[in-house]
Chains A and B, each alone.
Chain A
Amino acid sequence: MLAIGNLHVAVGGHEIIRGLTLAVPAGEVHAIMGPNGSGKSTLSYAVAGRENYEVTAGSVTLEGESILGLDPSARAAKGLFLSFQHPMEIPGVATMNFIRTALNAQKKARGEAEVSAADFLKAIRAKAKIVGLSDEKLKRPFNVGFSGGEKKRMEMLQMAIFEPRFAIMDETDSGLDIDALKMVGDVVNSLRGPKRGFLVITHYQRLLDYIRPDRVHVLSKGRIVKSGGAELALELEKSGYEQFEAA
């Protein structure tokens, strides 16, 4: 579904991703683990199309179609969702208005009918309950005054609303307590299906107690240095990343 081939990414002339190859078939959840500075966030930004993350070589395809030439919004419309490690606060922009505008922009780009205000309200209220965000929070400007945990809940709310074909979750677990981790697991597990893929980027194994990955990859210095099944995460938890640092 998402296929990355020999990807090289430079930021400010500095090569961060150095020949990364990875394929996540539809229906699977893959985890990428790695130490700080291994290129996890760079990978997610490059795939999402952020400016100044220059792809110098390699390919990224979503369902066989290259997305590298596309604008970030076009990638979103194709069903790519990025859960940000540090979600933005957007003062003055009403939360529900923003999410609905974004959802309808995606639908419009795909040639689908836009969702009505009433249907949207119903959907977002139901999903907000699942991710643990109150009505009061939905009425605020987007993420303004939210705690780190609440911002992550807002990411999960959007993922649940957009129902992307492929989601990259960049350290969604950082700063979350056990209850919130369980919520993230619930949202991902409810969306898991034969036509959808996930790439879960994390430092720690603990999120993977709630989201059982089909494959685990170790990222070090911009390359995948080891891949294995779910048990690899447990192994890393014991042995640490040091063994890969020399690679």
Chain B
Amino acid sequence: MSRPALTAMETALAKRAGGLSRERAKFFEAFAQSGVPHRRMEAWKWTDLRAVLRDDLAGAADNDVIAPSVFANVGPFEITVMNGVAAWGAAPIGVALARADAPLSALAADHPLANLAAAFADDALSIGISGAIAQPILIRRIAGAGITQQRAVVTLAPGAEATIIESFDGAGAFFSNSVTEYRLGEGAMLARVIAQNAGDAGIETAFSTVTLAKGAVIDQTALAFGGKAARLETRIAHDGAGAHASLKSAIATTGARHADVTSLVRHDAAGCETRQLHRSAVKDRSRGVFQGKFFVARSAQKTDALMRASALLLSDQAEANHKPELEIYADDVKCAHGSTAGALDPNAIFYMRQRGLSEHEARALLIEAFLGEVFDGVIHAGLEHILRGRVTRWLEGA
């Protein structure tokens, strides 16, 4: 008789947890309280991880050959994380790498998947950055078959500046789960680019936190092609006055894929600014989920936060679920959100066809334009070019 895979997985995890250090056992206990997130949990109602983790997953296998990253063109310092195991070469001056466990930050402590990753990560990475690092840093996560758990803590010293690319790729049926915690010191600046593609059978959950000290700046751009299920989740905390966060994300899905972009931005200090833009383009029977929440504490006066999300439905069976949320306790703030959904404009398509474009070309150009706004103003021009190129290739294949 076949047992539900989830039970099998939880049993296996619990068995492995017996061998964990005391510190890690605590992470596992925190995870075990809720287990794998499911649709009866409000934050997971559209991404039912438990439902897709029914299938049993064989142990991780090393990929034989690793092709160069699509981000190789910007000449990054690459940290390759293959099935959870990290490897890197000589780090640029100002970048220090080590393997070390640490308690989860307050933003991550209640998240079941953050605890799961912290409990089982093969390599818990600690990356320290000081000064202005010109060379982009690529954290390249590749998953093969099986289950992999990954963790990284990235600390930017006061005034540090860095561009960090995180790519999440994989092939076959895998479950790759990670937690990445960023801590930005006073006046630090981080340009973060996330690119995710789990294939048709892979499951990717990438959870991250960003704490911003006074005057710190994060500029985050994410592109998700989804997977059997994929979720990019970001929690940001404006801890110091005058911090700035820009969050831009695009979902592009086809077939039966599922992509989820979820975020929470906490405004706990005065005079902080947040700008968020999300676009979903969903084809076939695929599904795009966007959940964005701004929290403004009573102390966070003069918060200026704006969220815009829109979805482009490219077939009758495609689905987009958007949930923008504001929770505001301060009275002197500027906060707004807007969410729209629609199809391609047939008038625009006819206009373009009259000018000589085929229907396919006209649609592709419109979809590219729709998603393209997310990549306007990516700090690194080379990265903007690569992200746009990935969308173009997606359109050619779609």
Contacts and interface: CB of A to CB of B under 8 A. Distances in A.
A50 B350 contact: yes
A90 B347 CA distance: 10
B93 interface: no
B73 interface: no
A72 interface: yes
Contacts of A103: 356
Given A73-B356, A105-B361, 9 more contacts: A72-B350, A76-B355, A84-B354, A88-B345, A92-B369, A92-B370, A93-B369, A101-B357, A105-B357
Contacts of B355: 73, 76, 98-99, 102, 105-106, 158, 162
Contacts, number: 73
Interface of B: 345-348, 350-359, 361, 365-366, 368-370, 372-373
B87 to A, nearest CB: 40
Contacts of B365: 93, 98, 101
A142 to B, nearest CB: 9
Interface of B is mostly: helix
Nearest to A72: B353
B359 A102 contact: no
A84 B358 contact: no
Given A71-B359, A105-B361, A90 B354 contact: no
22 contacts: A49-B354, A71-B353, A72-B350, A73-B353, A73-B357, A73-B358, A75-B354, A76-B354, A76-B355, A81-B354, A88-B345, A88-B347, A90-B348, A90-B351, A91-B369, A92-B368, A92-B369, A98-B352, A101-B365, A106-B355, A109-B356, A162-B356
A51 B346 contact: yes
Contacts of A98: 352, 355, 365
Interface of A: 48-51, 71-73, 75-77, 81-82, 84, 87-88, 90-93, 98-99, 101-103, 105-106, 109, 141, 158, 162
Identify which of A49, A73, A98 gathers the most chain B CB atoms within 10 Å of its CB. A73
Contacts of A50: 350
Contacts of B353: 49, 71-73, 76
A103 B354 CA distance: 11
B373 A92 contact: yes
B219 to A, nearest CB: 20
B381 to A, nearest CB: 16
A90 B357 contact: no
B354 A48 contact: yes
A81 B369 CA distance: 24
A106 B355 CA distance: 8
Contacts of A72: 350, 353-354
A76 B356 contact: yes
Q: Which 3 A-B pairs have the closest CB atoms?
A: A92-B369, A102-B355, A106-B356
A72 to B, nearest CB: 4
B369 A90 contact: yes
A98 B366 CA distance: 11
Nearest to A88: B351
Contacts of B366: 90, 92-93
Identify which of B345, B346, B355, B370 gathers the most chain A CB atoms within 10 Å of its CB. B355
A158 B351 CA distance: 12
A101 B346 contact: no
Nearest to B350: A50
A90 B352 contact: yes
Contacts of A75: 354
A51 to B, nearest CB: 7
A158 B350 CA distance: 16
Contacts of B361: 101, 105
A168 to B, nearest CB: 10
A102 B351 contact: no
Contacts of A106: 355-356
B352 to A, nearest CB: 7
B352 A102 contact: yes
Given A51-B346, A72-B350, A90-B366, A102 B372 contact: no
B91 to A, nearest CB: 39
Contact of B356 (A77, A87, A91): A77
